[in-house]
């Protein structure tokens, strides 16, 4: 069977139309798939962004707490130094009192 030029053109035209229809359908499906991937990745990025801001908020509150604790520790250091000096002076006052009594006894004996 011999195919005439006109019939060949018609067959090729029909095949081209079928291919173009198939290609258009494939493009549409691909665009749909890419759109779904984009939506999925966007939601994941939003979740990461929310977590980042929550972490940053927590970090800022911890930074403030640490600064406050540092100030408290400095005050406690000063208080401990003051108490330590007071205890040293108390010991010195007690030793002075003992020496004072001994001197008084010696003075009484020497008279």
Check pLDDT > 90 for residue 87.
Answer: no
CA 62, chain centre distance (Å): 10
| pLDDT at residue 5 is higher than 90 | no
For the record, the structure tokens of 95 come out as 């030793």
pLDDT in tens, 31-70: 999 999 999 999 999 999 999 999 999 999 999 999 999 9
Q: What is the pLDDT averaged over residues 80-87?
A: 88
pLDDT of residue 1: 63
Cα–Cα distance between 1 and 57 in angstroms, integer?
81
0.85 surpassed by pTM: no
- Asked whether the predicted pLDDT for residue 8 surpasses 90, the reply is no
Dihedral through CA 93, CA 98, CA 102, CA 108, nearest 10?
80
């Amino acid at each position: 069977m011999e195919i005439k030029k006109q019939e060949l053109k018609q067959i090729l035209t029909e095949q081209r139309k079928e291919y173009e229809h198939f290609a258009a359908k494939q493009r549409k499906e691909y665009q749909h798939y890419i759109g779904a991937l984009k939506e999925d990745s966007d939601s994941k990025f939003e979740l990461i962004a929310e977590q980042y801001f929550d972490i940053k908020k927590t970090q800022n509150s911890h930074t403030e707490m640490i600064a406050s604790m540092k100030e408290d520790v400095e005050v406690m250091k000063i208080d401990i130094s003051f108490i330590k000096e007071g205890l040293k002076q108390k010991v010195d006052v007690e030793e002075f009192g003992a020496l004072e009594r001994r001197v008084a006894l010696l003075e009484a004996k020497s008279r």
